[in-house]
Every structure is written in structure tokens, then in C-alpha cells.
Homo-oligomer: A and B are copies of this chain.
Amino acid sequence: MTNEKKQIKLGVFLAGTGHHVASWRHPDAPADASMNLDYFKELAKTAERGKLDMLFLADSLSIDSKSHPNVLTRFEPFTLLAALAQVTSSIGLAATASTTYSEPFHIARQFASLDHISGGRAGWNVVTSSIESTALNFSGEKHLEHHLRYQRAEEFVEVVKGLWDSWEEDAFIRDKETGEFFDQEKMHELNHKGEYFSVRGPLNVARTPQGRPVIIQAGSSGDGKALAAKTAEVIFTAQNHLESAQEFYQSIKQQAAGFGRDPEKIAIMPGIFPVIADTEEEAKAKYQELQDLIIPAVGLQILQNYLGGIDLSAYPLDGPLPELDPEASNAVKSRFKLVQEMAKRDNMTIRELYQYVAGSRGHHIFVGTPEQLADKMQEWVDHKACDGFNIMPPLLPEGLELFVDKVVPILQERGVFRTEYEGATLRGHFGLEQPANRYSKK
């Protein structure tokens, strides 16, 4: 009897005291978590103990001082992951980096260096930076418009991939006798000249252990989905319902096939925000405890930000969401739509919406037992709604420890999650092949 059960992919999205906006107020939370290295080291070790595929770090290049305290100040992702690579040996390390406010040469280089430093565990979450005020930190008056950001992103990713091919795997001869250090034929200039960038190369980092760090993408707008279908190997997304998740899943995999890609080689991983306890009642009480810690002004602000800065202060908190024009906002379009849909379908008031969004930031909230969570995860994977999940614990470190100690063993027992790492690269965990260098004749 062969075990043909579809394996679940699991990431953990690390964020200070947890993904619930009021988590820092919880008695168990280390309130300084977002800049506490020892704390992050413990989280990384816990995740690796759970044999998870990867750690995932978000990022931002500006501050919204009214937002989640976890993201006011935090580590820069490359430095943090290079440090965490030293206390782990197998788990993947995915960092978010923006294509709107950086240069392809820098990003190619930092990920290549991280891939070497971690022995092949780097992943790049490609984002275009949705917060408008970011431009003000980079000598720009105005943030690039949504569609142009995605045009730039596509070219940016192509340049980065090109730079990662600068050196063929066997380029370095290092013959002490003859004095030949490398084979000139196996070093390549990219000589890219495009609309946004002109980059000569070669990159000054050798071919990396993974050949190419894994490309992750989270865009859910039309442009975002197209970019993901074209370039991403892992897709992070916010999906709240089985049906809409199935639609998203099918649509991405079809688009990818249309681009000549193998849909099986793309892992779609919605975020999930699990509140777990031994009984449903305990889990509900736990969730309510966190919700009660939300300060109303903070909650409203987060909802407004989520909608791209639209001012809702004129509307009663316990009334409905007014009609809003998504085109009038430079927000993340998929989020905008999500909130509008929830407001209509479930008749949610502004207060209910901000409580929902503030708590989980629009991601799928699960409240229940470890067994129920394992059921739900398997259901989604079996019904082609996703290939796995990016776990967003509401409260850390507790939420990750519970997941690793209570949920992972159930999944392992059911034969749908690894009991040991099969390899030591992120690409390996996801069953992705080592990409060939475009120049290699082999």
C-alpha cells in the first residue's frame, strides 16, 4: 500500500507578539517582541521542531504609527534571517522585499547571499509596497500607480533572475598550478535594457545552493494574480471561504498553465489565523479575550488603512459600511473587495468589520480544537482550495507552540505532513526542481 495522500505545505508568518492587533496587551506576550532577537530565535527553533516548510517575514518601508505595534519598529528582514539561519538548519527563510523602492542588483545580491549563508533556504516574497507614504522616505513625491508598480515588478523579477544566472555552477576552477581562478566563458553579463531598468551584471555572488531562491508572491488583484501566475513558486493569499479559495486556486493554476508552467509546481498557501484550545468553548473564550483588548480607535484606523486611507469617521460605528469606490483608492484591491463583500454578505457593521479586520487583518480566522483545525486544513487541501497554509498565530509564542505540539502531530499521524525534513533546502521542501542556469549547455 503506497501512501498517496496529498502532503500539506506549512509556513509560519512571524510577527512580534502575534497577528492579533491587541496581542501585545495579552499577559503572556513579551511586549518588546518585534525587536527581540532571542525571542525570534526561539520562534525559529520551535517552527523547525515542527518541521514546517518555512518562516515568513513581512516588511514595510514606512511607519503607520496608528497601526499594529508589532510593525512600528522591527528588524530588517535580511539581517534577521541571516541571524536565524545560524540557529536553524533546515527550515526555509522567506523575506519580503519591495520592487518599488529598491534596485534589482541589491535585491538579487542580498537573496543570493542569504541563500549561501543558509545553505539554500532563502525565499523572496515579491511585493510592490501598497502604502502610499512610503514614497516620502525615498525622495519620491508620489507613489507609483498600482498598474505601473506591477509592470515594474515584473521587469524587476526578470532582472533579478537574470543576475542569479551570472555564474554557471562550475564556473570556478581555482587551479592553483595554472593560476586559472574561473572560466571566463561561464561568467555572464546580463546586459538587460528594459523600460524600468538597465543592468549590466554580472552579479558578484556565485551561483547559489538553490540555483535560484524560491519566488513567493501575494498579489491578488488582476495584476497581482498575473504576476504570481507568471513568476511565483509559492503564493500567499487571504481566503476566507472554501468556494472563493477554490476559484482563486483554479484561476491561478490555469493562468500559470497558460504561461507554460506546471501548475503542480506552484504552492498556493492562504493565511490562516488559528485560535486553538482543547475545547471549542475554550477557544472561543480565548479569541474573545483578545478581541476585548482591541482599542476602538485603533480598530477603526486599521479598517480605514485597509481600505486605502478612506475616512470613515463620519459614519456611525454600529451602522453599515457606506458605498465606496474601489477605483478611488490606491489600496490593495483584493482587500478592498474582500471587506466590501463581507459587509454585504454578512450585514456587518463598521464596528464588526474593524473587529474582524483588526484582529486577523482579513485572513481566515479559525477558532476551535487542534483536531478541528487539522480537519479544516485537510478539507481545503483535498478540495483543491489550496496546497497548504501560512500560519498566522494570533498570539506568539503560544500560538506557534500549540500549532507545533498539537496540530502538527495530528497531520503527521494522518500521513499528510512530513515527520522529518527530506532535504535541507526550501526548494526541496516544496518539491521544486533546481532551475537550470539559462547559459548552461550541460
Contact = CB atoms under 8 A, between A and B. Distances in A.
A98 to B, nearest CB: 10
A206 interface: yes
A35 B76 CA distance: 23
Contact of A103 (B69, B101, B112): B101
B79 A79 contact: yes
Nearest to A176: B25
Given A103-B138, A204-B72, A181 B133 contact: no
Interface in A189-207: 196-206
Contact of A139 (B101, B103, B205): B103
Contacts of A61: 105, 204
Interface stretch (A113-121, A215-223, A274-282, A368-376): A113-121
Interface stretch (A4-12, A80-88, A234-242, A415-423): A80-88
A182 interface: yes
Contacts of A133: 200
A403 interface: no
Nearest to A201: B137
A182 B65 CA distance: 9
Contacts of A26: 176
A200 B32 CA distance: 25
B82 A139 contact: no
A203 B35 CA distance: 14
A27 B176 CA distance: 8
A61 to B, nearest CB: 7
Contacts of A73: 167, 203-206
A147 interface: no
A198 B137 CA distance: 7
Interface residues of A, number: 71
A174 B31 contact: yes
Nearest to A40: B117
Given A176-B27, A187-B65, A139 B102 contact: no
Interface in A153-204: 167, 172, 174, 176, 179, 181-182, 184, 187, 196-204
Contacts of A114: 79
Given A71-B204, A102-B106, A117 B80 contact: yes
Interface in A9-33: 22, 24-27, 29, 31-32
Most buried by B among A60, A82, A181, A196: A82
A138 B105 contact: yes
B113 A80 contact: yes
A74 interface: yes
Contacts of A62: 200, 204
B35 A199 contact: no
A259 interface: no
Given A106-B102, A198-B139, A205 B83 contact: no
Contacts of A31: 174, 176, 181
Interface string A56-97: 000011110100010111111011111101110000000000
A304 interface: no
Contacts of A35: 116, 205-206
A74 B204 contact: yes
Nearest to A192: B139
A158 to B, nearest CB: 14
Contacts of A197: 139
Interface string A208-232: 0000000000000000000000000
B117 A37 contact: yes
Contact of A184 (B29, B65, B139): B65
B71 A181 contact: no
A136 interface: yes
- Give the most central of A22, A78, A113, A298: most B CB within 10 Å: A113
Interface of A: 22, 24-27, 29, 31-32, 35, 37, 60-63, 65, 69, 71-76, 78-83, 85-87, 101-103, 105-106, 109-110, 112-114, 116-117, 133, 136-139, 167, 172, 174, 176, 179, 181-182, 184, 187, 196-206, 293, 295, 298
Counting from the closest, the 6 A-B pairs by CB-CB distance are A76-B113, A82-B82, A86-B86, A31-B174, A136-B200, A79-B82
